[in-house]
Chain A
């Protein structure tokens, strides 16, 4: 379903990035990194007051030739970026939304680990499995 899932820290460095194939990894990194601009733009487009009540799901950030990039920002400005194959037309927006929510929950679990140092790269098997399952799903 998703071909690349990334968790980006507030300071815009990657906490976690996983893609389905290794050969295109670099490309996905670039794609995800570039998408942060759009995320920034979308966040800053909202007023200060609205930020608190805003919808975490940002929707489609931008489409590229082969992929669609979706974004999600937590209240602590941690960004989730998901790259999906644009040929997969069956994927609907609310499905993406629920995937992001699952990802968010899993991320919260990681954060709850007392041995996890906030700001470190995520090395969690549970999170890995979660992400892998999301990439495998319905493929």
Chain B
């Protein structure tokens, strides 16, 4: 409930006041016009009596009347039109708006704080004397709650515009003032004329309106005298005449206009009229303008009509509205106002002169004395004229009633008795309806009671009024005159409430009945509304808020939106004023009220209601409701041209994840766009607005520098490089970074420069964005923006492009410090525009936008700019068949798109290094979008021709690489780096004999071959090739490979094709091999030193051969002088599963590489020249290796292929170096552990068992593919390290134990001197026995058989070795004794020798046998120790292989 300024009692009293008609002569009206006022207006501020009045009631008791107010109105002879009233009320409400900028009222209700800022200064303040005080009080009081002045204005206007009806007399005229000016030639005549006029109006049947209280209306004669113009004497004399004629009580001389209109304007005089007339100057003028016509109309109704018609024509306003007299003359209609805009038209040319005076204040000719005179006049009139008249009338009515009572009462009761039994139940609804229209004749006795009651009510005699109403009510009810009864009930209730001291409680049920009757039976909503307004106010004053709310809500109906809105709003206010405030009900009813307001065209009020309701719904999760309110607020704001509010409200709907259905969202979006369009049209030059849609995932923004990848064409396959299509992979990016670091280190002689920054072509949220990225001039910068459409309707972005700022800068000229800041200019930066970009509902879509920098400088990418539109919207707007638009590939959009922008602001990573950063939340910079444009750099493109996708393990395939320099800058220092250097080669430094073009090489073997005759199968050929020749330097990183460009420069536009051999990795499966091409410009730049190009090759390998090799010492010492030789066993197994159509493998050649060894010849060569291996076959090759002197030898068996030439050797050395690297790390660990002095010895011993023999197996595979036989070639490498240990061509997979218990142990310190194993020691000395295999001896002749045996001792180590040979049998076990006891060594049983390095020593021994048999001669034991060591590692050599001898007896 809104608080009223007036109390309830005041409100009701003021609602029902005695009405006095005023009839003015033309001249009199002219006098008052001098003050810009009509007569009725003139007296209006003084119509409340400031002093108490006494009156005697019919029982002759003194009755005190306080604060009596009367209303003086001009006579209007038309009854008000309902349409006119509606219009008037509408205007009243729309004019009364909450003032802005005032302190808002905060009502705390529950957990809600409501800001209700509808405080406004009440215009209608009771009476002049108090108005100032009231205002002061109003402004200073702190505890008043929300006011709704529009409601009060409405109520006031509504009550005063109530048409007079026949069933009640409250707004019938009690008296009539006849006003004549003293300046008229015949004032007395004029009085007579006016009197006749009044009589005519009241009694002739011509006029049904206005209504008069009683037939003989009080006439009061007023002589208006203009002090400044008229003669005082004449006035006095006329007044004297009047007094004689009408009595002193019936006439009055009112002197006004003491001040000339032209002077004294400087004197400040309070203007009480402004409170009653309109604050709005147009209003004032209007009422002023139209005044004369009404005055004239009083004289001649016809004239009035014609004049009104004139007005209508002139004003072009609706007849209905214009003809309605309330608009002008209803004096008490204080707030009557008209929409200013409508009225601008009405000030037609006729009134132009007056228009200038619109600002003139009222009462310009009136001094304060005049004010007092007017007040005096009203008082006099009331005291002397009106009240005595009323008193008399009441008395008369009372007498009439009493005299009639006996008769009528008995009559009534008699009839009642007679008929009640049968009559009442018979009444049907139809009859009720009929009776509701029942009309009493004007002089009916029932009406006389009512009349008296009304009069008593008007003079505040509520007790008497109540009893009269009560009586009347009974009578009316008896007659079933429902309208009359309801009226009586209503007033009875009101007067009961107003009775001083409240002897009886307020009969709310009277009111309820009255309302129901009015509404349902009489169908008179106006009366019902009045009743509700009164009752609600009374209930509120008694704190019965819920009853009041129910009452108010009950009256809302379809027939009047304005009324419903106002009542709902009041009901809403009731809810928050309850003891436990019902905020949500308040909000809900506010929404209903807002809805009704908007239907009634009260947009501002509607907006206010919704805004207030919003406070309750906001942020509480009631999203559906919130969206609805926001939408309505947006719409209302828009219609009120509060575009900013509208935009923000709509924005709110779209931004929040709305749960609305798609259609609803579509509507929201369309409205939003429409509103936005209007906003932008208002300020076309303003900055582009920020659009809320679609969402941009800022951190997902990616920036890519460089051109798009060129697609592969045919056999030409472009380097994959890097593109936006690739997903970020942390591991691979780390690998690339490592590769780049490697190559940079190589270029910079092993040191990575401190300012090194890995090249980043693609920046994303994972990359290091703390430094400004570098972009090259004339190369595009692509920004990928991640748009997300949160709505269920598709969004169409058109003309999408980037927004940027550019500072040109020349990086080479350092003196040029100043920088110009330029935001535009396509000569510097070219921007690509995406014409159309459609984002479907709830879709995330990337847009790639390009910029082409044409100058060096600093670029800042600020955001994106686009037109936002919908497809649906355009379809609906245009009515075009959607399929047409889609077929054309062009979405038609017209009005429904708005140009706007969105910023791209990327937050950097959160800093977490220092303590301060850890405790606070700080974010680092992200410079993804601020690239520096540097000067030209070469740009390399690499294509691979005939690059295979599948290979056999170890297969050698030839492909070509094309290098193209697409820039305008020469390119140099081209290098390639890869983690797998063994995978490819560009050929060594040795002469390149392969054809340079790929086409010529198609059927050519990858290997260089020599034609040999088949006889030389077993010849071994030796050639020397050093690893240095193949680019595998010992110190440098083997991964970095220099690309042999001709002249080592690639000129702009030039292209070079180079052969490239690929070697299938040894392991089967899919291999991803990363190549990083590194190149530099010829010129050195400050910003960018080098560029890189990436390529990832994917190779799928399938199994081919498995090569295993073992080496062992041969026991034979054939060439005694040379000493050392070994046997090499090479097991080759075809493990190909022949899926690839591989028929068979041929071992073409086995080559070896070693510093000390060479393969000499095949031992067990089969008959077949080629060693063929079909699927799952295994072949064994056995070679003899001899020690050779020249190091770095490479030997081949089955020589057909020059294995020391380019691809073969390349791959061999590559794989070797990678192998070395692998073992290096292992041995490093080992060496670090053992650094003790005696480790030298250990090493020596170990060395004996080491061989560094590398075997290269070259093979051919016959493959059938598409009915074509292909020959594939390949090679496998086996690295042999240790004697007797099996080595494989590819690392064996270690079968990891499936599940092991996790053991926790402290690793033992392994620094204890590692003793060489016995096996290693056994390799120190090689022994062999030479003896005849069988020995014939005649035991008959000689019982002892002596057999000479030579023991050859060969020192395998590099150091001197002391050797002890013990021939004594070891009598450890009886078993052994049994075996060995059969023969004995003769002669010295123990020898001690020192063997020099590699020395071979032969010892002649004699064995003695006593009988025939097979003997094992290997019983000797050999102890060896390093000569310079003391007793360490003295250990026995192995009991070498059984050396069997057969002793035969002849």
Query: Which A residues lie at the B interface, using CB under 8 A?
Result: 11-14, 22, 25-26, 29-30, 33-38, 40-41, 44, 121
CB distance from A86 to the nearest CB of B (A): 17
Contact of A29 among B575, B582, B625 (CB under 8 A): B625
Q: Which residues in A have their C-beta under 8 angstroms from that of B582?
A: 37-38, 40-41
Is B588 engaged at the interface, CB distance under 8 Å to the other chain? yes
Is B1406 engaged at the interface, CB distance under 8 Å to the other chain? no
Query: A37–B622 contact, CB under 8 A?
Result: no
Query: A34–B588 contact, CB under 8 A?
Result: yes
| Given A26-B628, A29-B622, A40-B110: A34 and B661 interface contact (C-beta under 8 Å) | no
Docked complex Cα distance between A95 and B955 (Å): 82
| Given A22-B661, A30-B588, A33-B617: A13 and B580 interface contact (C-beta under 8 Å) | no
| Given A12-B620, A13-B620, A14-B622: A36 and B584 interface contact (C-beta under 8 Å) | yes
Docked complex Cα distance between A40 and B586 (Å): 14
| Given A37-B582, A40-B110, A40-B580: A29 and B620 interface contact (C-beta under 8 Å) | no
Query: B588–A33 contact, CB under 8 A?
Result: yes
In addition to A25-B624, A37-B585, 7 A-B residue pairs with Cβ atoms within 8 Å of each other are A26-B624, A29-B622, A29-B624, A33-B584, A33-B588, A33-B625, A41-B580
Per-residue CB proximity of B522-554 to A under 8 Å, as 1/0? 000000000000000000000000000000000
Docked complex Cα distance between A41 and B585 (Å): 12
A-B contact pairs, 23 of them (CB 8 A): A12-B111, A13-B622, A14-B621, A14-B622, A22-B661, A26-B625, A26-B628, A29-B622, A29-B625, A33-B588, A33-B617, A34-B588, A35-B584, A37-B582, A37-B584, A37-B585, A38-B582, A40-B580, A40-B582, A41-B580, A41-B582, A44-B580, A121-B621
Docked complex Cα distance between A26 and B617 (Å): 13
CB distance from B543 to the nearest CB of A (A): 16
Is B591 engaged at the interface, CB distance under 8 Å to the other chain? yes
Docked complex Cα distance between A13 and B620 (Å): 5
Docked complex Cα distance between A12 and B584 (Å): 10
Q: Which residues in A have their C-beta under 8 angstroms from that of B588?
A: 30, 33-34
Docked complex Cα distance between A26 and B623 (Å): 10
Docked complex Cα distance between A27 and B53 (Å): 57
Q: Which residues in B have their C-beta under 8 angstroms from that of A41?
A: 580, 582
CB distance from B1239 to the nearest CB of A (A): 61
Docked complex Cα distance between A121 and B620 (Å): 12
CB distance from A28 to the nearest CB of B (A): 9
Residue on B nearest A45 in the bound complex, by CB: B580
CB distance from A5 to the nearest CB of B (A): 15
Contact of B621 among A13, A25, A30, A34 (CB under 8 A): A13
CB distance from B551 to the nearest CB of A (A): 16
CB distance from A107 to the nearest CB of B (A): 17
Docked complex Cα distance between A130 and B620 (Å): 25
Docked complex Cα distance between A1 and B896 (Å): 44
The B586-635 residues at the A interface (CB cut-off 8 A) are 587-588, 591, 617, 620-622, 624-625, 628
The binding surface of chain A is classed by DSSP as: helix
Docked complex Cα distance between A38 and B580 (Å): 10
Q: Which residues in A have their C-beta under 8 angstroms from that of B585?
A: 34, 37
Docked complex Cα distance between A30 and B587 (Å): 9
Docked complex Cα distance between A38 and B110 (Å): 13
Residue on B nearest A34 in the bound complex, by CB: B588
Query: B622–A33 contact, CB under 8 A?
Result: yes
Q: Which residues in A have their C-beta under 8 angstroms from that of B111?
A: 12
Interface centre among B580, B584, B585, B591 (most CB of A within 10 A): B584
Docked complex Cα distance between A36 and B588 (Å): 11
Residue on B nearest A12 in the bound complex, by CB: B620
Docked complex Cα distance between A13 and B661 (Å): 21
Docked complex Cα distance between A13 and B622 (Å): 7
Residue on A nearest B628 in the bound complex, by CB: A26
Docked complex Cα distance between A35 and B587 (Å): 12
CB distance from B388 to the nearest CB of A (A): 55
CB distance from B109 to the nearest CB of A (A): 10
Is B583 engaged at the interface, CB distance under 8 Å to the other chain? yes
| Given A22-B661, A26-B628, A40-B110: A34 and B622 interface contact (C-beta under 8 Å) | no
Docked complex Cα distance between A12 and B625 (Å): 14
CB distance from A38 to the nearest CB of B (A): 8
Q: Which residues in B have their C-beta under 8 angstroms from that of A37?
A: 575, 582-585
Docked complex Cα distance between A15 and B777 (Å): 56
Residue on B nearest A23 in the bound complex, by CB: B661
Q: Which residues in B have their C-beta under 8 angstroms from that of A29?
A: 622, 624-625
Docked complex Cα distance between A33 and B580 (Å): 16
Docked complex Cα distance between A121 and B110 (Å): 24
Residue on B nearest A35 in the bound complex, by CB: B584
Q: Would you list the 7 A-B pairs with minimal beta carbon distance, nearest first?
A: A13-B621, A37-B582, A34-B588, A37-B584, A13-B620, A29-B624, A37-B585
Docked complex Cα distance between A37 and B563 (Å): 25
Docked complex Cα distance between A42 and B661 (Å): 35
CB distance from A34 to the nearest CB of B (A): 4
Docked complex Cα distance between A22 and B584 (Å): 22
The B562-591 residues at the A interface (CB cut-off 8 A) are 575, 580, 582-585, 587-588, 591
Docked complex Cα distance between A29 and B628 (Å): 11
CB distance from A122 to the nearest CB of B (A): 12
Q: Which residues in B have their C-beta under 8 angstroms from that of A121?
A: 621
Q: Which residues in A have their C-beta under 8 angstroms from that of B587?
A: 33-34
Docked complex Cα distance between A34 and B568 (Å): 15
Docked complex Cα distance between A44 and B581 (Å): 11
Residue on A nearest B109 in the bound complex, by CB: A37
Q: Which residues in A have their C-beta under 8 angstroms from that of B622?
A: 13-14, 29, 33
Docked complex Cα distance between A12 and B587 (Å): 14
Query: B584–A34 contact, CB under 8 A?
Result: yes
Residue on B nearest A44 in the bound complex, by CB: B580
Docked complex Cα distance between A29 and B588 (Å): 10
Docked complex Cα distance between A35 and B622 (Å): 13
Contact of A30 among B575, B620, B625 (CB under 8 A): B625
Residue on A nearest B613 in the bound complex, by CB: A30
Docked complex Cα distance between A38 and B585 (Å): 9
Docked complex Cα distance between A36 and B110 (Å): 12
Docked complex Cα distance between A138 and B620 (Å): 34
Residue on A nearest B661 in the bound complex, by CB: A22
Residue on B nearest A39 in the bound complex, by CB: B584
CB distance from B841 to the nearest CB of A (A): 17
Residue on B nearest A32 in the bound complex, by CB: B622
Q: Which residues in A have their C-beta under 8 angstroms from that of B583?
A: 37
Interface centre among A11, A37, A40 (most CB of B within 10 A): A37
